Every structure is written in structure tokens, then in C-alpha cells.
Structure 1
Amino acid sequence: MPPDHSAPPGDRSLFPSFDGPAGFDRIRADLPAFLPAIRVVCERHGLSSGGLSAFAHGTNVVVSNDAGQIIKLFPPFLRHQFEAERLSLGRFHGTVPVATPELLWQGELEGWPYLVISRLPGRTLEEAWPAMSGAERAEALARIGEIMRAAHALPTAGLESIDLGWDAFLERQIAGCESRHRRMGLPERLASQIPAYLESARALLPTSVVPVLLTGEYTPQNLLVTRADGRWRVTGMIDFADACLGAPEYDLLGPCLFLAAGSADLQRAILGAYGYPPADLGSALRRKLMALALLHRYSHLRFQLRLEGWESQVSSLSELEQTIWPL
């Protein structure tokens, strides 16, 4: 494990001020604001400070240099994300059938933990998706299923600090589900159905599980593709700040919503590659996944569900379930 470093005494001027998480989000991609801290990290570890560029999207400060390295700064209120990424990077690298970043250095400045990791080649699946053929999309979903299956087989000893505590987590999510989706703008006719719908699915929800290592991020923004022999292929996986231990089905939600929603072929591609036999691809699985999609800690169907016009086309959560998973 790379060594830990502490900020030198008296060093108190490396980071900009901001007003809470919303204020941080507004300046997160402002490279000049974070250059003093980035330069200290570069000097500390002998990194190149040339070609520095901040990533526009994400939750933390993420900056690349011209030497193929990524510097990721975590504000103190997101230290749990630093811990999740630090631990999971070491567990994933070299153990799953896809490239993942190598953890090069870790440390802390003025209470801000940071990581230095290797940069992977490729474009995000989000960028490439519109240009991919139907066959390439099905191949990508199958590949994601294979990667996920390997990840869920990894040992979890030593990762207890990122365990969701699944059963208690599930109960908290159920209690706050309706109010969350009202805040996220789910149409009222659907939001009002949430309590009864979850009750209908309660017996199907995974409980007392043997937890597996989840990324929560098998989404097109965090999967990388490269083009070879005229075809796009999934070759990399990045961003593990939301990694945790929990029920394996939880990881299926990202690709099923962002990429496979409404397509029986794509849903079967990922679920089959993950390990579900054809006989299990039915109404019980569909309802379980829809309930978990509502209960996800970052659930925001208006953003995550890539189905044109779905909000005006479905009248019930049962109908939405069948629309997303036409198994």
C-alpha cells in the first residue's frame, strides 16, 4: 500500500473557500482554484505538473497531467468516498477481466485526502454509445455482466468499513423512498404508488445477504471503451468512490437503466452473462429490480432512465417495470 502523507505544519492556504457541498460543486472543476494543492501533490510525489486539465464531470476534484496520471482531491465531507475508492482500487486492480486504475500514491493536505492513480486509455461508453451498432451494444452489456460477476466473486475481508449494513440500509431506503422521489420530480401519479408497490415487492427483496463488493457505478460514464478491428469494446472501468458492500443485485441497476432500458435483447445480454438462467428472467426478477431501482441511494429516474417520453407514457409503476425490463 502506498505510504500516507500529512500536510506540513502551518500550511493552511492551499484550498479555496466554499459554502457547503453545493458551493463546492460549483467550483469543483475550477482548475486555477485548486492549482496550489495540485502543485504540492505533484512536488511531493515527483509528478509532472505539465498539461494539467480538470475533468468537468464527477463529484470530487479530478485533474490529469501529461504523464498519464490522475490526481483526485476529496473534500473533507467526502472522506468516506476517499476510503471507498482507496480500498476498492486495491481490490479490483489486476483481479477483474477489465483494466482498472492502479493506485500510485495517497495522502492528505489540510484535511483533504487525495489519491494519485494511473490514467486508462479509451473513451467513455457514454460518448461511444450513439455510434455503436446493436450487436456492439449487446456485446458491451454482456461484457459488463462478465466483469460484474468476477467482481462479485472477490473476497471482501478487510473492506468492512464500507459495508452498507444491507438490511438496515434497505429499511432506511424504504422509509424515505416516496419523499425522495417527490424531491426528484417523479410524476405524482407514480410517486403516490411507491408505498403499495414496495410492499408488493418486499418478499422479493434480498435480505440477510452475504455482501459482495459493489461499485454502484457500472454506468456509461464510468466504463471505458476502445475501438479495435472496427468494433467498440469495453476495456476499462473507473471511479470507485461509491464502492460498498451489499447485495449483488444492486450493481445491476446502473446498466439496466442507463443502457438496456426497454430492450429485451440488452437486458438478457447482461443478465445472462452475469449468470441468470433463462428460466429466471421473468416477472419476479423484474419486480425485484424495479423495487431496488426505486430504493437505490442515488435513485433519480428522470436522469437515469434513458427511455424517450416514458414519464408521459406509463400510468403505473407496474407498467414502468414492464417497460424497462421487457423480459
Structure 2
Amino acid sequence: MPPDPSAPAGDHPLFPPFDGPRAFDQIRADLDAFRPAILAVCARHGLSTGGLSAFSHGTNVVVANDADQIIKLFPPFLRHQFEAERLSLTRFHTNIPAATPELLWQAELDGWPYLVMSRLPGRPLEEAWPAMGSTERVAALARVGEIMRAAHALPTSGLEGIDLDWDAFVERQIAGCEARHRRMGLPEHLVSQIPSYLESARPLLPRSVVPVLLTGEYTPENLLATQTDEGWRVTGMIDFADACLGPREYDLLGPCLFLAAGSAELQRALLGSYGYDLTAPGPELRRRLMALALLHRYSNLKFQLRLDGWESQVSSLSELEQRIWPL
């Protein structure tokens, strides 16, 4: 009987040792460290082991082979991300106007859950964005709005396990918001305004929502673009480890901060294609989105807000809100 490829060989474990999440983050892109586990997955499912390469960005171990397949290993402490991705992948695939990976296999190896999925063509929008002209950028944001609208219309039955439990979630985020942004390096004159700002925004926050399927990740790293005869087009979307159920506005934050920040034209392209009435979007929408940006579970405005010089140019959160969303 051939040996079980999922079993450690003697004193050679399949996974490298590490001490906690921070230590894992330092090694997750080290292909050699995870090669035994990757080879075991390949042997189990008959995958090619040629051209193996690890992705440097992300949260989990992600490796591609020369057969356009992706192997994604989730450490045990991120099992919730495995559940989110496996559930949302099948719900999104072929059901939104953008390509998404096809889920090929899901299993577990020595306590590590993993997914095998197809690799999509295209380049991350992060790489294509600098080469895109203004017309292409407007079209890209409009496309993102269309994709998001279709995603939010999908049924959520069977996805209850990834529900954010929004009302409780938002209260936890409010309680820790000031401390979080101080840790993230937000200028102190803005950090000190957070309690009063959030108090003013409380009546505008979504409450007791009918949740939709969110990715929380409509960001330029997770959107794929392809160059066509008509120029660059957004054609695909990847990485659903942060998928959850919650209020629809939560998904607007990624494209608003990373891509459309400070541009009325790009903001209107996104919101208009999603379905907002642009004749009078109103200050309430700006305030609600700014509050949600502060409360996002991964909020880090110094990294996420692509608006040159904003830290030294605004004296208040209200002013920052108007700079980001000049609607």
C-alpha cells in the first residue's frame, strides 16, 4: 500500500513550526517552508507540481502551479477564513458579472484546512491602475458597482455561519475605535475627535439590517483587470476569506478609499452604477460612509486612503469626510 501523502514522514512534519499569528505572517510566503504540505496536497488530488510559486501578499499560504491551479492553506487559527471563502466561492461563481475562481477541492491536512481552486487570468487592478487613463478608470469603478450590486442581490440562505451579527459587531467596533486608530498611526488631532464624531453618526449607522453577502475586499489587490482592444477592463475578483453577511454600504469602502478617493467623478461612477440616486446623494451618505470607514474591522486609513497629503491637509474628521466623498 502506498504511503498516505498527508502523513508526516518520520521527523519531517508537513508544516513548519511558528509561534503565533505574527510569526506565521513572517513565513507564510516562504515556499520552501510549506513545500512538504503543498506536495502532499498535490499528491492527494493529482495536481501538477511544476512551476510552484508563492504569492507574497495576503493573509494565508497561497501557491500557484503551472496548471493554473491555486492551493490555499489556512492555519488552524484562521479556520473562520476558510469557512468564509469556501461558502462564498460557490455562491459567487458564475452568479456575478465577473469571473471568480472555481472551487475544485476542499479538505484538511494535519489540522490545516485548504482549498484548491482555478487561477484566473488578468493582473491585479493595483498593477494596472497607474497605466489606466481617466476614461478607463471611470469605466472600472462603474464595473465594480455593477459587480457589487449583483453580489448583494444573491441569496444568503445557508451562509448564516459567516453573519457579522451587525448590531453587536458595530458596538464592539465603536468601543475599540479610538484605540485602534491610535495604534494605526492616525494623526492625534483626528484620533481625539473619534468619540464625538461617532456619536454624531450613530443615528445614521445601519441597524437591524437585512444582510447581504459582502466581500469587504473590493480592493485593487483583489480585483483583476485585463487589457482588451478597448482598453483595461475589470474582469475578475479573487480572495473571499473575509466574506461575511452585513449591510451593503460596508462593501463600498474599499473602492471609495483605495481607488476613488477624492474624485467626485470616480465616486459617482461607482455609486451611480450600484444604483444610488446621484441627483441628491446628501451629506448623510458621506457621514455614514466615513463612520463605517472608521469602524471597519481592518480600518487603517494611513494605508487604505489613496489621497496624497491628506494627513497634513485636514483639521477634522468632518473635513476628511468631505475630501474623500466630494459628492
- Under a length normalisation based on structure 1, what TM-score does the superposition of the two structures give? 0.97
What do the CA deviations read for 1:269-288 (whole angstroms, capped 9, x no partner)?
Answer: 00011110113422110000
* Matching residue's letter, 2:66: D
| Maintained 8 Å contact 1:6/1:108 | no
CA contact (8 A) 1:152 1:214 kept: yes
CA distance in 1 between partners of 2:118 and 2:106 (Å): 12
2:293 aligns to what?
Answer: 293
Distance, in Å, in 1 between the alignment partners of 2:234 and 2:57 is 20
How far 1:6 sits from its partner (Å)? 11
SS state at 2:89 partner: helix
SS at match of 1:117: strand
1:39-188 alignment, distance < 5 Å: 39-188=39-188
Change over 3 Å in CA distance of 1:9–1:133 after alignment to 2: closer
Counterpart of 2:212 in structure 1 is 212
1:276 aligns with 2:276: yes
Cα contact 1:6–1:107 (8 A) shared by 2: no
Q: Is the 8 A contact 2:38 2:71 kept in 1?
A: yes
Report the Cα offset of residue 309 of structure 1.
0.7
Equivalent AA in structure 2 for residue 170 of structure 1: V
Q: Distance in 2 between matches of 1:275 and 1:205?
A: 19
Contact 2:5 2:40 in 1 (8 A): no
How far residue 109 of structure 1 moved from its aligned partner, in angstroms, is: 0.7
Give the secondary-structure state (helix, strand or coil) at the position aligned to 1:140: helix
Q: SS where residue 216 of structure 1 aligns?
A: coil
Uncovered stretches (5+) of structure 1, i.e. residues with no partner: none
- Checking the alignment, whether the CA contact within 8 Å between 2:5 and 2:43 is kept in structure 1 is no
Q: Is the 8 A contact 1:6 1:109 kept in 2?
A: no
In the other structure, the counterpart of 1:317 is 317
Does the CA contact (< 8 Å) of 1:89 and 1:240 recur in 2? yes
* Aligned counterparts of 1:35 and 1:106: Cα–Cα separation in 2: 18
Classify the secondary structure of the residue corresponding to 1:81: helix
Q: Secondary structure at the match of 1:120?
A: coil
How far has the Cα of 1:178 moved from its partner? 0.5
* 3-state SS, counterpart of residue 279 of structure 1: coil
Runs of 4 or more off by more than 3 Å in structure 1?
5-12
RMSD: 1.4
Q: CA deviation at 1:51?
A: 0.3
Aligned positions, number = 323
Q: Letter of the aligned partner of 2:319 in structure 1?
A: E
**Contact between 1:7 and 1:108, CA under 8 Å: does it hold in 2?**
no
Secondary structure of residue in 2 paired with 1:306: coil
Instruction: Indicate the SS of the match to 1:312.
Output: helix
Counterpart-to-counterpart distance in 2, 1:294 and 1:77: 26
- Paired residue type of 2:65: N
